[in-house]
Amino acid sequence: MTEIADWKKADSWLRHGESLDDLGITSLKVIRGLAGLRHSMDALLLAEFAAPRSADQVLDLGCGNGAIAFLLAYRYPDLSITGLEIQAGLADRARRGAQLNRLQDRIRIVEGDFRKIHTLLPPESVDMVLCNPPYRQLAAGRLSPHPEIRQAKHELTATLHETVAAIRYVLAPKGRAYLIYHASRLADLLNSLRAARLEPKMLQLVHSYSGAQAELSLVEARRDGRPGLQILDPLFVYQRRGGPLSRDMEAIYRSLAMPDIRSTVA
């Protein structure tokens, strides 16, 4: 069971203008800039949706401050995870966060631009990729004045096509990709995946509550997979507008809080 390093000295991991955020899962913490990018519920949804196999090599593409990597490493103790992040400040916080959560032996953070992924990672080197790409094209919506938030929300450093190309490059044969993306751009995502021979295999739409339009989509794709898309029941985050979490969302929190201890007996 992972425990945070030196609870009483946790603040010693922080630099000026930073704070510790609770991931809401046991004692896991993330380091964030006070004015910068914060982790969101997207990280929890993607970490729960992903289905790694024992001893998978996993890549968190655009890992930010490491929230998804921390959740997966805690949930699946056999995994080896690489986080790739272009923003130096976020990569540094993810690296320190891995040490803070005592996960540095299984999480490696690489700073770099995944548009040049061939210079950073070997081809066909991972079994599973997780990615939460920027949802908005450059011409869509107001740009945040803060660079961390701006790059996370808008396609400033990589388009959707470039993101999918990086996934294709790094995935091993029959490897799987798990993505969370805005529902309004779901058609763009599915088209880009299929064009790169990453066949969409599973889809789940996420709604705030019953009766609300879908806001997010969770997609599993398989490298060179056969056609055939399974559509899961929709996920409602809240029981009603302004109400408490749904039972399914509460179950996600419980699931992520329980390490997957697998038997070694065949």
**How confident is the model at residue 265, as a pLDDT?**
31
Torsion of CA 48, 51, 53, 54, to 10 degrees: 10
Residue 149 has pLDDT above 90, yes or no: no
Residue 219 has pLDDT above 80, yes or no: yes
**How confident is the model at residue 21, as a pLDDT?**
87
Residue 158 has pLDDT above 70, yes or no: yes
**How confident is the model at residue 263, as a pLDDT?**
29
If you average pLDDT over residues 160-184, what whole number do you get? 96
Asked whether 203 and 217 are in contact (CB, 8 A), the reply is: yes
Asked whether 27 and 4 are in contact (CB, 8 A), the reply is: yes
Of the candidates 98, 101, 118, 125, which has an alpha carbon nearest to the alpha carbon of residue 109? 98
Give the separation between CA 50 and CA 219, rounded to whole angstroms: 9
Average pLDDT, the chain: 87
Which whole-number Å values give the CA distances from 186 to 114, 205, 217, 218, 234, in the listed order? 22, 10, 7, 9, 15
pLDDT higher for 40 or 250? 250
Q: How confident is the model at residue 262 (pLDDT cuts 50, 70, 90)?
A: very low
* Amino acid identity for residue 169 in this structure: Y
If you average pLDDT over residues 226-240, what whole number do you get? 97
Of the candidates 22, 62, 68, which has an alpha carbon nearest to the alpha carbon of residue 45? 68
Asked whether 85 and 63 are in contact (CB, 8 A), the reply is: yes
Say yes or no: domain 9-256 is CATH 3.40.50.150: yes
